[in-house]
A and B are shown apart, each in its own frame.
Chain A
């Protein structure tokens, strides 16, 4: 494998920025944001340079490594702090630094009134560095460092506006749920170390051919737990909605484009484990399928624009996880959807930020409406992202999502049909709720109060949105030309099995998907564009009466056939989300706290009762030793 000495700069640049901004303190208030943006862009530049270098080498030599130093050496166990840049990580590097830089630029303007803007940029740079470490580490242990690092940066950023207690609670909740996932990762690392004797990707890959299936399954399941925590997948999904408390650029960068996709990265990176452990792989698929439906249904019920987008993110990552769980056939598509999603979802979040910027931080979509007229650029960029996410050809989402749906259908047997139909249904619901967002925000009637003065965002904010919108339009097309991305990733994720039985031809799937999208859009348009929306006084203009009546009929029909059960299910899921999962988290915390308080009572303060503990302890010790001696 080719070694390099320049990989470290990818990480060093943003890390340096974070250090400077934090250490220099208020002195760097004036120029801190510029430095941070420049360093992030510099890192992107290094990434581009690495890509060009990589392209110039033959396929077999594209992956390069850099050993930084020998990190741990306990007995025979050696872990180097080393970096690995291959075809998979370069995709992430460019996504992270590219989108990251755009969001830096956007934040310069978005955060310009915040007195702690410098600190915000320091955290952003810290996040970029940690995320790069996550995708560049050459072993699970190095990945773990980045994994914890992005966690830390994410808590700092979610809790950035910590004036409100709810925000601190949100970051705490995110912490607890992520902690469960982190435990999964640390278990996976330790099991891997104990059974395979190594934790580097190359070592585990080599050992996975000989290792027992049980051990690999255990590692796989633990990795999946880790992925569900970080990527907000069922059943650890609840934190993502609350994480929207953070500033909107953070939501765009961390909770849409990069950090939450780390779980997908982890699974694709560990393809050799999942390929050898079908049980774990099946679990991955199930988690993906459940989450994509779950997120989509939750998305239909949210009125908060950011929470609706967050639910959508959850659902889209469900697609990716589903793709990653389909084995070599799906890894590349999972990554492709991840990349396209990075563009359109980040763009939409920035759009949402722009809307909030124009609407005095109002987040309730029921208080929007007709913003198209006031924010044409935001409307355009958001609209392009919208077309991409619902999968209208030739926008990016069409290519990537259809590929996953198609692969799901062709997974074979009942499993394939089930997964395919779920994915298809998910696509319809996606179309519905995204149209709802679009309509409520931009095209329906004005529902905001008189003191709102919607206005377009400044240049620095809309340029990143525009660039991301261009990405939403073009990337899908680019990635699929001549199966470019699939071929690109093949050395990492393995060859697709050719010649399997094909259930549905690509054209059929595309057709079905389009029908699903059209149904979803139609329902949403009829209900929200043409129908009444709460908090708006009904306007009894006679010309529209008939149409309104017709709508009413359709509504009744919808309600009876689709909406009622749907609403009930949605309500149930949302309730489950809030009460059960939330309750579980709170329950765990409360139990720990309660147990702690109860046990604390043993600390009576009386030296004599402490002596009694010692006496009883001695008895237990004697008895325990005696029992085994017998």
Chain B
């Protein structure tokens, strides 16, 4: 029996491997380093590995390969853009995660027990979140590059498992946090079972599990398309669950609310990039030729998602839940880019993902700062008058909200404009109309929060804004600047995206 040794192109795999290496180093630090020094060394290792991975990625950004890992991943321009976005978002999120106030001191301690009290008093911290974050980042980096279904599945689990865990590590309201973890986990496992079932049918349809094999079968298939449609439907359930599209969205408000805010920001921003990266690749590469089959269903889901997210967000009273519904609406907007199925759609989606991700990290970064004596204050009523007490923080938050609403001179406007134009160009007038309508509805609740912060009298219950730590401040400042720059002068980024946004088969 002949066996040829596999060849891996380590230069192209370097970003993923470096992040994984950082994670392993983190595990070793957990095992061997003295407790007092763990936090700083973990933070250093995490940021360093992310930065090195980013530079490794930029070094090979011009390369293109389908055989970087024996056909399991495809390294191309769009992949580089997804990976770069994820790494940038991850670095900014790690700065938020570094704030100790986010995480419980001892996850194993029962809430309210003496053990928990002791652990809080002795200033313990769960430094394991750093390697977990890195594992999740590695999974996210792999997800949009995967070009066979096994790798896609493994990457999906790899980015999900750490997030399930981290969702349960909140410092305050731990019961809610643990509940969020349970819900996220159970529903995530449920949806990944659907995903796997879809993998099985796609394999049955084409006899291959690579995207190119599936595409070849769609082009030259001789049987009927029943297994294909089952495969597409079930795989879509798994993927749409991750991005929070209606009706697979129900987990996201609960999990966004329950999870530690820094993790929520990371999850909301980076997972969206990774999952939409994978969705774009699989629909643009594997399923492109079956377009007329899946497109109507996806248009339906896109419209329902954007309208549902925008309408329900209006009646939310909790800022994290409101941002969750806003992220649902944004998932609907982003699906418009998938539906477009054109280069313009791909470019617009990538821009939108980056812009949205950055603004999301910034917005959640601000949520971590608004506190009272019992921890973060997420009740919107208690945010009233924030603009009077902390004008800078409130203005930054208002600015992010304007970006979400797609007001000109913010990144959100450019993103919305280009993505809806792409959808319209490809003939989806309904998506355009629904998109503009629901962004008009959405603007209503974003502005409502702004009015609340600036035009209402401060609530008199001691809600205050924490003086941000240096790292949080850095994140908020960088995200605000990027959001502004992308709104005022996005041309360089758009050109860069245009020059390298392509999928190879």
Interface residues, chain A, with chain B CB atoms under 8 Å away: 25, 69-75, 77, 81, 141, 144-145, 148-149, 152, 155, 159, 162-163, 168, 171-172, 175-176, 179-180, 182-183, 186-187, 190, 193-194, 589, 592-593, 595-597, 599-600, 602-603, 605, 607, 609-611, 613-614, 616-618, 620-622, 624-626, 628-629
Within 8 Å of chain A (Cβ to Cβ): is B247?
A: yes
Name the CB-closest residue of A to B422. Answer: A74
Partner of B247, one of A148, A183, A613: A613
Please tell me if the beta carbons of A621 and B421 are within 8 angstroms of each other in the complex.
no
Shortest distance between the CB of A159 and any CB in chain B (Å): 5
Question: Which residue among A72, A179, A589, A618 has the maximum number of chain B CB atoms within 10 Å of its CB?
Answer: A618
Query: Does B490 have its Cβ within 8 Å of any Cβ on chain A?
Result: yes
CA gap between A25 and B308 in the complex, in Å: 40
A629 touches B229 (CB 8 A): yes
Q: Chain A residues near B17 (CB, 8 Å)?
A: none
Chain B interface bracket (under 10, 10 to 19, 20 to 34, 35 or more): 35 or more
Judging by beta carbons under 8 Å apart, are A172 and B451 in contact? yes
Any A CB within 8 A of the CB of B408: yes
Q: Which residues of A contact B183 (CB under 8 A)?
A: 607, 610
A71-B491, A74-B348, A162-B455 as given contacts; A614 in contact with B241, CB under 8 Å: yes
Residue of B nearest to A617 (CB): B247
- Using A72-B417, A72-B418 as known contacts, say yes or no to A602 and B495 having CB atoms under 8 A apart: no
Query: Which of B293, B312, B315, B447 meets A625, CB within 8 Å?
Result: B293
Query: Of B62-70, B104-112, B248-256, which binds chain A?
Result: B248-256
Contacts of B448 in A (CB 8 A): 172
B130 located at the interface, meaning its Cβ lies under 8 Å from any Cβ of chain A in the complex: no
With A74-B344, A614-B247 as contacts: A624 and B408 at CB distance below 8 Å: no
Q: Are A194 and B489 in contact (CB under 8 A)?
A: no
Closest 3 CB pairs of A and B: A596-B315, A610-B250, A624-B297
When A72-B491, A628-B292 are in contact, do A614 and B248 touch as well, CB less than 8 Å?
A: yes
B447 touching A175 by the CB < 8 A rule?
yes
Known A190-B432, A621-B297: A74·B494 in contact at CB below 8 Å: yes
CB proximity of B486 to chain A, nearest CB, Å:
11
Q: Select which of B194, B254, B301, B420 is within 8 A of A605 by beta carbon.
A: B254
Do B312 and A600 touch (CB < 8 A)? Answer: yes
Q: Are A617 and B490 in contact (CB under 8 A)?
A: no
Cβ contact within 8 Å between A616 and B247: yes
Q: Does B234 contact A (CB under 8 A)?
A: yes
Is the C-beta of B414 less than 8 angstroms from some C-beta in chain A?
Answer: yes
B456 and A194 within 8 A (CB): no
Assess the B455–A194 pair: CB atoms within 8 A: no
Which chain A residue lies CB-closest to B416? A186
In the assembled complex, B233 has its CB within 8 A of some CB on chain A: yes
CB atoms of A72 and B187 under 8 A apart: no
* Interchain CB contact under 8 A, A168 and B312: no
| Contact pick for B421, options A149, A152, A194, A589, CB 8 Å | A194
- B80 interface residue per 8 A CB criterion: no
A–B pairs, 21, beta carbons within 8 Å:
A69-B489, A72-B490, A73-B494, A77-B421, A155-B447, A159-B455, A162-B455, A172-B451, A182-B440, A190-B420, A597-B315, A603-B253, A610-B183, A613-B250, A614-B191, A618-B194, A621-B237, A622-B233, A625-B233, A625-B294, A628-B297
Residue B203 CB within 8 A of the other chain: no
Residues of B432-486 whose CB lies within 8 A of A: 432, 436-437, 440-441, 443-444, 447-448, 451, 454-457
Q: A9 to nearest B CB, angstroms? A: 18
Inter-subunit contact B311/A596 (CB<8 Å): yes
Q: In the complex, are the beta carbons of B293 and A599 less than 8 A apart? A: no
Complex Cα gap A152–B190 (Å): 45
Q: Determine the distance from Cα of A607 to Cα of B495 in the docked complex, in whole angstroms.
A: 44
CA of A179 to CA of B436, assembled, Å: 11
CA–CA, A229 and B398, complex, Å = 24
Q: Is B407 an interface residue (CB 8 A)?
A: yes
Q: Is the CB of A618 within 8 A of B190?
A: no
Contact yes or no, A183 B233, CB < 8 A: no
How far, in angstroms, from A75 to B345 measured CA to CA in the complex?
10
A183 engages B440 (CB within 8 Å): yes
Other contacts beyond A74-B418, A194-B421, A600-B316: 4, CB < 8 A:
A149-B409, A193-B421, A611-B190, A621-B301
Whether A70 and B491, one on each chain, are in contact in the complex, defined by CB atoms closer than 8 angstroms, is yes
Give the distance in Å from the alpha carbon of A437 to the alpha carbon of B289 in the complex: 71
Which residues of chain A come closer than 8 Å to B407, judged between CB atoms? 148, 152
Chain A nearest Cβ from B337, distance in angstroms:
12
